[in-house]
Amino acid sequence: MKFLDLAKVYIRSGGGGAGAVSFRREKFIEYGGPDGGDGGNGGDVWAEAVEGLNTLIDFRYQQHFFAKSGQHGMGAQRTGASGDDIVLKVPVGTEILDEDGETVIADLTEPGQRVLLARGGNGGFGNLHFKSSTNRAPRHANPGQPGVERTLWLRLKLIADAGLVGLPNAGKSTFLAAVSNARPKIADYPFTTLVPNLGVVGVDGHEFVMADIPGLIEGASEGKGLGDQFLGHVERSNVLLHLVDGTSEDVAADARTILTELEAYSPVLAEKPRITVLNKIDALDEDMRAERLAALQEEVGGPVLSMSGVSREGLTEVLRALWQKIEPTRKPKVEKTTTWQP
């Protein structure tokens, strides 16, 4: 299944049915009177967050979603049937934006959350509704209200407990493959990862979700490389895992590049709890490890862990450090359905 995290959709709620103009025609009843029924209401358009989806690819093949209109009213005081609603099933973590691509209408972060995107039009009143003491035979009825048309953007931000960041070939995919059942593409050239990957990681009987995004390079915030468009998938993470390639000639400069790009994308993202790790230590001797570990600690201004995704040295210590950051943020799971109506 292809990954898609941005989609444009066109929606329209159903129009209300028109009221009926009708009069009773019954044998032996001298004055029949009006009996036109009301029109049915148009269908609404909803969006609902559901489990089991992690891409918006379905919205590449269908962009138009139109709810059914209400039926017209009929004689004998019969009200028209209301139109069927239509529900857009989206992955958990989907933001719904207005046509300008900036105004957030709703952020669906929990399964079962729903948001009303367009309300259907009300059905029109039939002529029975206008009967009065001075107007015994009204010959007019209301038309139904038209539906609402909107153009919206769907933007997916994956929900993960931990997010992997680093330069291309920092070993992020190797690490994710080593600690989870995820099978991201791994190769010895830059930008092996082209789309985000999710993996469920376990340590000491605990499980959490980790997201791997394509590598950042200097100037990513200006559109270089793959840009910084995928950083949105780690915005919801509780902690960032910053991997630095230990075989690089200047690990401090590599770390500085990532921190600069995070700050350029969002100061909030740059301030998230972060664990810095010197990776690929299996390719370094003891002296080089100590030298580059010290340089990295000086650059980030805090402790730095070391590990190797290939030899698995230090993996458990890194996972435990991640869990220590994640555990306080965990909330008890409560089964609930939240409905939002803007």
According to the annotation, is 282 in a ligand binding site? yes
According to the annotation, is 272 in a ligand binding site? no
Q: Where are the alpha helices (DSSP H) in the chain?
A: 58-61, 172-179, 251-265, 267-270, 286-300, 315-326
According to the annotation, is 237 in a ligand binding site? no
According to the annotation, is 23 in a ligand binding site? no
According to the annotation, is 170 in a ligand binding site? yes
According to the annotation, is 212 in a ligand binding site? yes
According to the annotation, is 76 in a ligand binding site? no
According to the annotation, is 281 in a ligand binding site? yes
The CB-based long-range contact list for 197-204 (8 Å cut-off, 24+ gap) reads 197/173, 198/54, 198/158, 198/160, 201/162, 201/319, 201/322, 203/316, 203/319, 203/320, 203/322, 203/323, 204/320, 204/323
According to the annotation, is 285 in a ligand binding site? no
According to the annotation, is 171 in a ligand binding site? yes
According to the annotation, is 172 in a ligand binding site? yes
According to the annotation, is 169 in a ligand binding site? yes
According to the annotation, is 186 in a ligand binding site? no
Give 3-state DSSP helix, strand, coil % of the chain, rounded to 5. 25, 25, 55
According to the annotation, is 122 in a ligand binding site? no
According to the annotation, is 195 in a ligand binding site? yes
According to the annotation, is 111 in a ligand binding site? no
Among candidate residues 121, 92, 82, 105, the one with its CA nearest the CA of residue 9: 105
According to the annotation, is 239 in a ligand binding site? no
Rounded distance, CA 74 to CA 34, Å?
11
CB 213 within 8 A of CB 234: yes
> Angle at CA 7, nearest 5°, toward 4 and 13?
140
Rounded distance, CA 214 to CA 191, Å?
6
According to the annotation, is 185 in a ligand binding site? no
According to the annotation, is 141 in a ligand binding site? no
According to the annotation, is 93 in a ligand binding site? no
Residue ranges at the known binding site for GTP: 166-173, 191-195, 212-215, 279-282, 308-310
Residue numbers in the known binding site for Mg(2+) are: 173, 193
Numbered residues of the known binding site: 166-173, 191-195, 212-215, 279-282, 308-310
